[in-house]
């Protein structure tokens, strides 16, 4: 089975990333990368409580990255590896307009 990350942004813009079978990042490294991007991209928590779940972090980092970073080869490879390792599913769909992640 292929490992893929599918990203849907506003206005129907979509990105598809294939992820190698062998993990590129550990779960811990993936979470650290997402934490760093969350801070660097000046993201805000989705929940009023301020609690940030991993899936929420993926959503807001994806939203903040937008087509500019998702279109950058180096950044998008790190992104796909981190999302795959952090969420641990072979097929992940990140839908920014609905703010939902499905597996």
Per-residue tokens: 28: 């811990």
Number of domains in the chain: 1
Reply yes or no on whether the pLDDT at 1 is more than 70: no
Each residue's pLDDT tens digit, 5-48: 999 999 999 999 999 877 789 999 999 999 999 999 999 998 87
Domain residues for 26? 3-102
pTM: 0.93
Cβ–Cβ under 8 Å, residues 92 and 83: yes
């Amino acid at each position: 089975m292929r490992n893929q990350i599918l990203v849907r942004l506003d206005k129907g813009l979509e990105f598809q990333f294939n992820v190698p079978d062998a993990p590129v990042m550990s779960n811990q490294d993936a979470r650290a990368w997402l934490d760093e991007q969350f801070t660097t991209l000046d993201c805000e928590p989705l929940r009023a409580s301020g609690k940030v779940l991993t899936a929420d972090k993926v959503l807001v980092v994806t939203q903040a990255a937008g087509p500019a970073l998702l279109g950058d080869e180096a950044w998008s490879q790190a992104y796909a590896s981190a999302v795959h390792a952090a969420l641990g599913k072979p097929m992940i769909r990140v839908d920014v307009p609905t703010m939902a992640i499905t597996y």
